[in-house]
Amino acid sequence: MDISAVNALSYEDFVNIFGNVVEKCPLITAAVWTSRPFIGLNALEAAINEFIDALPESGKEGILRCHPDLAGRDLHGGALTRESREEQRRAGLDALSSAEASRMARLNEEYKERFGFPFVVCARMNDKASILRELSERCQNERAAERARGIAEVKKICRLRLQGLVLPDAPNKL
């Protein structure tokens, strides 16, 4: 859909269509609906990012807590959102060897224990090997740095999900 169609959406339709561009956080898209009209995809993305950036640290951690464990029980139990299921599948997280699955589960638990929220990475920009490597490395970070890194990853995920829903901005013709 193009940005004029986005701007014409009712509140309910806007939230139904864009409610999961930030995983399980339809409140964010509900809040940015009032920023319409958007001049383009980039403006819609900027409104979402500004909303996230304005949250207190506890709100940002809340966003991170809405994300599932990568290659966790939600993937295998069919409880992931449609978007997360496809993103994890594309990264190969649905086809881990038993050693990889054990390592992923152990690192996910270590990460959550250390930071209080799940590990978030843009799976569509990674494969299973890079995700496992990054998960291991990021377990060493400080909490504030990891919260900021997780939110940066949330924004990458959001951007890709928005690009799947809205036509890109037309180039400026000078």
Q: Which alpha helices (H) appear in the chain, and where do they start and end?
A: 3-8, 11-18, 26-32, 41-54, 57-65, 73-77, 82-90, 98-115, 128-138, 143-163
Is the domain defined by 67-155 classed in CATH 3.40.366.10?
no
Q: Mean of the per-residue pLDDT values for the chain?
A: 95
pLDDT for position 171: 66
Residue 173 has pLDDT above 50, yes or no: no
Write out pLDDT tens, residues 86-142.
Answer: 999 999 999 999 999 999 999 999 999 999 999 999 999 999 999 999 999 999 999
Active site residues per annotation: 67
Contact 60, 149 (CB under 8 A): no
Give the torsion sign (CA, 20, 69, 151, 55): positive
Q: What is the spatial distance between Cα 128 and Cα 82, in angstroms, rounded to a whole number?
A: 19
The model's pTM is 0.94
| Rounded mean pLDDT, 165-170 | 87
Q: What is the spatial distance between Cα 130 and Cα 138, in angstroms, rounded to a whole number?
A: 12
**Three-state secondary-structure class, residue 38:** coil
pLDDT for position 169: 81
Name the residue ranges covered by the structural domains of the chain.
Answer: 3-62, 67-155
pLDDT for position 172: 55
